[in-house]
Amino acid sequence: MRFLCTLLALAFAGTVVAATPREVVQQAVQAIAPNAKVDEAQESTVPGFYEAIVGSQFIYVSKDGRYVLDGSAFDVANKVDLTQESRAKVRRLALAKIGPDKRIVFAPKAPVATRHTVTVFTDIDCPFCRRFHQQIAQYNAKGIAVDYLFYPLSIHPGADKKAQAVWCSKDRVEAFTEAMSGKDPGTATCPNPVNELASLAQSLGINATPTILGPDGKQIPGQIAMSPDMLAAELDRQSAAATAKN
């Protein structure tokens, strides 16, 4: 009997070692949420855990599959939100796949050079989105290019149709600015990326507009982003930190 138990223990241990992070996470998650789908799973900075994306949420699963933690992980010594670091990486990689053909770009014009670029998930009927865009000339004057991605929220009925109409207009940049000032963009339709971008936002855990992301994929707090001066200073700080790190 003792010999049999030893064999079983060794067999079980071999199974655990052979299991990939995704398999361990999937098995653990299915035990508590059978219909949940694991999108990504990998080694975590947190010792003894894998980190994974389930839906749009980050979770941590112990390597033996026994514990599942839902929430942010912090490196206290270095004062770093590890979950936000991982989420930023996922966002950066996802945004890199969204070409200029799916963005509405407001870039600085000569003689002002583009020093920084931010990506903004926006909704035409969002009051704070409109306030942000009212200052677009000031952002551009400070060398900040703004790449808009449509994300009409369900709390704004009809915002998706307005986004599609802007996208299908002859001059998207002009139509976007007019729509953000309250003008009806009409009802034009054509093949457009609105639904695709909304799905992308949801998959990245974005649930509000405007959501402003820096070049590194990190979300910039609204209290900073809504000020052209503060946003420029924050982007300068991030750029300097990235250069120093490399």
Of 25, 43, 76, the residue at which a domain comes to its end is 76
Q: In the chain, how many domains are there?
A: 2
Q: Are residues 31 and 151 in the same domain?
A: no
Would you say residue 239 lies in a domain? yes
Confidence of residue 29 (pLDDT cuts 50, 70, 90): confident
Q: What is the token pair recorded at 229?
A: 């001066």
Q: Are residues 140 and 232 in the same domain?
A: yes
Helix (H, G, I), strand (E, B) or coil at 50: strand
Q: Are residues 135 and 14 in the same domain?
A: no
Q: Are residues 16 and 119 in the same domain?
A: no
What is the extent of the structural domain holding 71?
A: 9-76
Q: What is the mean pLDDT of residues 199-213?
A: 93
Q: Are residues 26 and 143 in the same domain?
A: no
Of 35, 40, 43, which is closest to residue 57 (Cα–Cα)? 40
| Contact status, residue 121 vs residue 151, Cβ threshold 8 Å | yes
Q: Which residue has the higher pLDDT, 22 or 146?
A: 146
pLDDT at 3 over 60: no
Confidence of residue 53 (pLDDT cuts 50, 70, 90): confident
Rounded to whole angstroms, the Cα distance separating 93 from 166 reads 27
